[in-house]
Structure 1
Amino acid sequence: MKIAISFFGVLLLMVSGLLFFQYQVFSDKLETGEGNFSYSQEVEIVYRGESLDIRQHLSNLPNQTIEIKWPNLAVSADCFIESENSCKRLNDEKTKFEQGDIRSQSLSYIIPLDGGLKSRQLLKEVFVTLQNGEVTHSTVHITTDSGVKGQWVTGLPLVGQQSLSLVNYSMFSGTGPISELYWQAGDFKLQEMLNHVAIYSKQPVTDSFKKQLTGLKLLNEHHIDLVQGENLTGEQGKRILFIKDLSIESIKQNIILAQVRTQYHFGNSPEWVSELVASYLSGSIIGGSKTNEIVASLTDQMTDEQLQRWVHKLNELKGEEISTKVLDEALYEVLGKYTQFLTLNEHTEVLFPFLYNDSRKVYLDSQPMKDVSVIFKDGFIYYSADTLLSHLSYEASEGNNGYYVNNATRHFRFPMEYDFYVYNQRRYNIVSQPLITIAGEYYIEENWLKRLFLVKVQKTNDAINIIATSTTQQ
């Protein structure tokens, strides 16, 4: 009985300690502003000559420190005193909201417009955002002088607009943030809003087109604005898309890509990465020729069950930072084998074929070599030649008569297309090639590496250690 009581006491202390630790971590996150949260906002925009005067009212703020990310163009950034408490949480430096129970705060700032508002001008990153915050709903009011005639587009559903004797007023409201503003003068307006898609153009859309648009299958119900034509810079917005051709196929591809890019964070990844994700989520090829090749090569490696798991895995990654490395790791979970297929294609113009890689870390004399990759091809093991030979103190380069590898005393030439190699001016016949090229990169076969460059290769479950002999670097 005493033993049971003692055990229960120890267990209680352990649980109490764990709860205290979790509470401390939670409290630290609140103080440092690391906790993720959602909030809503109402934005008032007034165009005055050569600037946008903006008041941004933020609601449902959590009781934690919140970093404020002001637009780079913003001037006269300040608090807007809408009520007694609307500035209580803003610190003196105006860089963050302090912890507090007040749920709503208001900010004001000015976005200068050099030369005033221009027709077909897309304004990006002109609104305040909050670190770790996600906007669930936005309402936007835009007011201009009555002499400023044109159409505003915000990426949110248009609720209504009115021209009065002194001002023009537009109101937009919907789920998610407002990321950009677009304005166009002339005979240009909202022509149709169907299936969460608003079409702005000079010409009305046909009944046949409306029917096709209604039946369009999209990835989610997030609103998208389609503008027929181009803006001044040729850029695309996040929720405002510019399309010359109002065909259903063009609209489908552009909308699905836009939806994917709002659901994932692609950072500096090549454009084909977002196209690849969009292709698998939509079940249709979206993107250019490289995307088509990569999707085809990747799909060929999968069974139907693996393909379903791959699409499921992509859905699980929504909201995450996406890179070729992240996707390769996801492929490993699906295929059960490690590959750098997507990573190796990131910096090549031609397609790097699908191959499996050795996932173990590679070392030279116990020093890590992060730039050396190991691939499996046709039953052989190959190492990336340029990087590995450089670590072995050789200079490797492609020349007129083959691939050259040199150091102070050892000189190799590999003609590649012939059954011999040259070492220190002497020719040696071979029955297999020491090196191969894949997508313009050279790889050296493991046994030839050991034989020609005098190294030993030791392998464990976690590492490949290449050991240079005393004569290797002579």
Structure 2
Amino acid sequence: MLKKSVFFIFFLIVVCGAILLIQWIGYEKASKASREIKVDQEVHIEHSEAGLFVKHTFTGLEAEEPLSVIMPAAALQASCHKNEGTCSFRGQSASIVPSSETMSIMYSIKMPSFQTAFVLSDWSIKIKEATVEHAIIHFTEKKIRKGMWFSSLGPPKVKKLDLIDYYLFQGKGQPGSLYWQLKPLTQLESKEYLDVYGESKNVINDQQLELLREALTDRTAIIFTAEYPAFVSDRLVVVKNNEQLSRLTERFVTEVVLDGYRFQEGEEWLGQLIVSYKLGRPTGSEKIKTMYNRLNEQLNVRERTEWKQLLVGLIKESITAEQLDRKLSAVKGLDTNFFVSNKNENDPFQPLVFYESRQVIINGKKTEIRPVSQNGQLFFPFNETLQALGYEIKKVTDGNSLLVRREYNTYYFYPLQNRFILNDERYGLYEKALQNYNGQLYMNQKWLQKIFLVAVQSEKTINVLDLDL
């Protein structure tokens, strides 16, 4: 019996050990799969009559760890050093197994005939499982000694020797695209993440460049030239003028906003409003442009500045139409449901209306009436206010006039014609005495007082009182 118990216990220990071993192996594999490999890259390029000869050397690899490589489409005669590991090439796909932390891959590329400018984009290789932290390019120019090469890694260090031109580029990230131009270019500006080259300082629009710099997360080279068509790659931009740069800036800023701001599902399109404020001009759909313009019309300079700061500062929050209304109301000091009423992109535009949040008291009685505040003037809802004052209101059968009656006074109002009749006497109204907000008729405070003989007192509350005449 004792022998059976010992055997059973031993059996359980073996089974548990096997299970733990399998789990540990699985964990190790998952850990390796999820671990991001960070490498440095040094590239030697030689340009001669035969084309480009390229040698990539990666450091920071893990020995005996298989890696997948993406080759340039035009790469020829790819190879690696046998003493550094094994490699296998199939078209643009390749696999390598380094024997140490360093491994080099070599290949050549046939070059098309050069004109006055040229972009070399698909020339470098990428390791799928790795992120390049730092890159150095040693470029030896044997064929074309005129003109100059540029890179998004940063300004070049150039040596003009007897038989060759030598360029050194270095910076963070992938090697990126290279640009060559025969006509001389100078470095016009260099700021964080941004290098600008061109023929004249006059081409620079500082506001556009600052917006673009804020939108960039990787170092980018911008080249102003008429020698080559507009071109955009990962970190190299070629433009002819500031109009093209403006369109490009809009695209970059839009990408940053859509990636960085978290809008409620179905309301993502409101992000274009943030883009508009970042650019300082309306952009996006016609509805967004109208919303932007109406906000600028009804907010003063201080309010516009505060509103923009609040809006662009929402990058870490979950954004909803209700939240935007609350923030806009706080800036204006008045209530609005502007964003809630406009949150569906395909619905018709609803006007921007600000409502008073103060209590309205009519002849001593509290009401739910909410006047509209427009350019410092109050507009009272026509029907609700007059009914609270004791008037009877009816629509006349013609559909274009309103009958208002109390005791001995009878009024006919013609809103479309800006006139009214009081006890058979005709009177005119100023053009903006009556306003329509979201389908409801409102009357200006001054005309409410003048026609219906009331006093309006605006303090902590809004009091409307019949005058005792």
What TM-score results when the alignment is normalised by the length of structure 2?
A: 0.50
Larger Rg: 2
What TM-score results when the alignment is normalised by the length of structure 1?
A: 0.49
